[in-house]
Chain A
Amino acid sequence: MSALTVPTTGPLALAKPLQPINWKQPIALTALTVLVLGLLTALTTTGAKSVIAFDTGLTSLGRPTLTVPTRATVVVLGLLALLVTAYSWWATATRRKKGAWVPIVAGTLLVAAFLVWAVGGKGQPLQFTALLSGALFLSVPLVFGALSGCVCEHVGVINVSIEGQLLAGAFLAGVIGSATGNAWLGLICAPLAGALIGALLALFAVRYWVDHIIVGVVLNVLVTGLTSYLFSTVMQTNSGTFMRSVSLPKVSLPLLSQIPVLGPILFRQNVLTYIMFIAVVALQVYLFRSRWGLRMRACGEHPKAADTVGIKVNRTRIRNTILGGAIAGLGGAYFTVAAGLAFGKEMSAGRGYIALAAMILGGWKPKGAIAAALLFGFADNLQGALGVVGVAIPSQFMLMAPYLVTIFAVAGIVGKVRPPAQEGTAYKE
């Protein structure tokens, strides 16, 4: 028997047939870099200066501004991006494994070049710190939604009802927060609403084997209908009780918030943002380094095998789907108690679907999800920041950019990401 096995190492090893090289990434990066570099350099007026303002977070340093010549900076940033592109060519040609950092760094450099170009020759400085800290805050519901998706999909349940879970969380947080006048109580109740929707998803998808995507979409409609109905009736007639706005505090972490530039961006945030940091780290470890995570992923990858070693597949699926719902529900608190607003009809406005996209773009991993969510949050915040400066590009095109990037990314630049093998399938014990 052993004589028949082919040695995989040593002199007798047969050469494995090589996969054809996938040139998509270097080609796409080259095209993008050359396009951006050429366009921006050509469109810059000679002698224009770009002003970028930083909030250092230290009273002694104040808010210094950096003034740079626009064209030279754009060229330098573009050349750096070209350098990354060159690495991508080399790594592809030598069949090396390229990290996810390659497109991220190249993209960041190009975005930076674009920003420098956009504020070039304008009187107003670009508020760098505010741009990034605002982007981080806007990405909070997307991150929670994407985390919820990660938890559910690794256990084998497709969670399209993130949108509904966010909305339910926003609703309950807003109502409880307003009725009690205590934003913290609202924050605590938000996950309960999300968990309830998660439980419904589990009931139909796991217990009754209904197609997961169908349940998800329909639950979204259900939550939209339910919350809008209650908003138009009970809430509006008792607006004094249910429609007051309460707000979670913004907290500056001692010491950390004193780090120049980085401190004001990362550590002068709403309480919910800190919870998000903890959730991302905890889930990244929990999913890929813990026994629970291993069991979860077993249920998503190969439920039969999981069942054979004694894991209760459907019980694991139900519990984790509820947990996922709770995570998205917590993210829903962003819209009401974290943003300091009363609940409004359909206030999640499709963020749940964007969160789903962020999860896929992030390769079904918490750390990838936060990166993708930040991209969307950044684009969302960018139009406001550039509007202040007075940039002539129609805001709609700026807003489109991250969605276009996502399409390019899923079409192959980022590389193939793989969903859990058995997601969306019912396990019949």
Chain B
Amino acid sequence: MSQTAGTADKARRDWRATLRQIAQSSPLTVVLAIVVALVVSAILIAAADSEVQRTAGNLLSQPGDFFAAVGSKVGRAYSALFQGAVVNFSGGNAAGFFKPLTNTVSYSVPLIFAGLGLGIGFRAGLFNIGGQGQIIFGAILCGYAGFAWHLPAGLHLIVCVVLAFLGGAAWGFIPGILRAKTGANEVIVTIMLNSIAAYFLGWILTQTAFKKEGSNNPVSPVVDASARFPALGGTRANLGFILALLAALGVWWIMERSTLGFSIRAVGANPDAARTAGLSVATATVWTMVLAGGLAGLAATSQLLSTSSQQLNAGIAGSYGVDAITVALLGRSKSGGIVAAGLLFGGLKAGGYLMQATTNTPIDVILVLQSVIVLLIAAPPLVRSIFRLPDDDRAKKKAIKKALRATRTEVAA
């Protein structure tokens, strides 16, 4: 009798412990953060709608109209966001149905590349804001090889990809070596290098070697067809995505399985301890920045060697340098996380464009969505207090108290 009661009690305790664990685990934090972010964005979307504003005037006399207007606007916007990012219900055949997903994949590629680069930096304790400049230098080399050299298909693509990596790596090497040899703050050096790269790109696009003939705009010729990523099954997604996944795998291997990765992580965790243990902080720093720069440089390939622009222009790096910071943060600087975060942000971008086109909601709201998600995920206690979930510390204290009481009764017995 007492035994069954004890089992039931234990089962209940297990269930409650599991529930608490879920409540404190990060996947739930992520989901709740996304929920809060969607609510915040929904408020913005609704507030800017003229129909909502009109019905808000009669909120007290006809509250039904107001809520209907809010619901309709937010519903349409989010349905467009979903259909632009995941599946299109009115797509007809399978290709049309999954077309949004392939868009998402193609938007996520540069984010994954650059995010991987920045993630390595974070794990080494380096804050690399220089993604922008590294992408630009990757783009300059990659683009030049793409339109100026006429190599056989296949080889041409490989050369372009390698040059994109080298361009970014070279630009990442500068803050790395300065940090290692002179202690120059990498934040400030990378900010400066971003501006320098942008001006350099502006200048080089006015030079005859880079300027498209007969064009008044500062744009380069279009990259040869032989240098482009082949599309995957006739969709917008292309080989670049496979390359991004391979890069993620490679970064995982380097960080988790190689000696270099170990020293990078050791330096990031505690440079003094790493030095004492005989690791070269300088070498690890330089390698980190070279790898980070190279990966950021690869982000340029998805712009130049795929369907999007295929030619160098002043805006080739977009805002990927900064976007990638949020991707790396959301992915917690781990390969898998960065791929997931890149896909999420790529999806928001793809969906955001459809939302902008069909419901007149500016895509800028996506930035709000993204930043609220990252902010909340970084502060789990805040999410817990919003949803009145049990506090981590309090739960621990309770457990300790309970254990103490149990010991006391045992001793007494």
Contact = CB atoms under 8 A, between A and B. Distances in A.
Contacts of A350: 195
A232 interface: yes
A101 B44 CA distance: 51
A357 interface: yes
B237 interface: no
Contacts of B200: 396, 400
Interface in A61-118: none
Nearest to B206: A394
Interface centre among B206, B329, B364 (most CB of A within 10 A): B364
Contacts of B111: none
Given A221-B326, A221-B371, A397-B199, A229 B192 contact: no
Contact of A237 (B44, B50, B191, B326): B50
A224 B367 contact: yes
Contacts, number: 134
B184 A222 contact: no
B11 to A, nearest CB: 35
Interface string A217-246: 111111011101111111001000000000
Interface string A348-368: 001001101100110000000
B270 interface: no
Interface of A: 24, 204, 208, 210-211, 213-215, 217-222, 224-226, 228-234, 237, 350, 353-354, 356-357, 360-361, 394, 396-397, 399-400, 403-404, 406-407, 410-412, 416
Contacts of A210: 375, 378-379
A352 to B, nearest CB: 10
Given A229-B364, A397-B199, A416-B183, 6 more contacts: A219-B371, A221-B367, A228-B367, A396-B199, A396-B200, A407-B184
Contacts of B193: 403, 407
Given A229-B44, A396-B199, A407-B189, A213 B127 contact: yes
Nearest to B178: A411
Contacts of A215: 375, 378
Chain A to chain B: the 5 pairs with minimum beta-carbon distance, closest first: A225-B367, A233-B48, A222-B371, A228-B364, A232-B362
B368 A225 contact: yes
B379 A218 contact: no
A361 B44 CA distance: 39
Contact of A232 (B322, B364, B372): B364
B366 to A, nearest CB: 7
Contacts of A400: 195-196, 199-200
Contact of A229 (B48, B206, B375): B48
B371 A404 contact: no
Contacts of A225: 364-371
B159 interface: no
B129 interface: yes
B: contact size bracket? 35 or more
Nearest to B192: A403
A220 B369 CA distance: 13
Nearest to B381: A208
Contacts of A357: 188, 191-192
Contacts of B374: 214, 218, 221
Contact of B202 (A226, A353, A396, A407): A396
Which label, helix, strand, loop or mixed, suits the secondary structure of the A interface?
Answer: helix
A361 B206 contact: no
Contacts of B187: 213, 356, 360
A396 B362 contact: no
A416 B370 CA distance: 38
Contacts of B361: 233
B409 interface: no
Nearest to A358: B188
B367 A222 contact: yes
Contacts of B25: none
A354 B368 contact: no
A394 B367 contact: no
A224 B365 CA distance: 10
Contacts of B178: 407, 410-411
Nearest to B201: A396
Given A204-B378, A221-B326, A221-B370, A407 B192 contact: yes
7 contacts: A215-B378, A224-B364, A229-B364, A396-B202, A400-B199, A406-B192, A411-B178
Given A221-B367, A360-B188, A397-B203, A228 B362 contact: yes
B327 to A, nearest CB: 11
Given A215-B375, A222-B375, A399 B191 contact: no
A218 B195 contact: no
A403 B382 contact: no
B3 interface: no
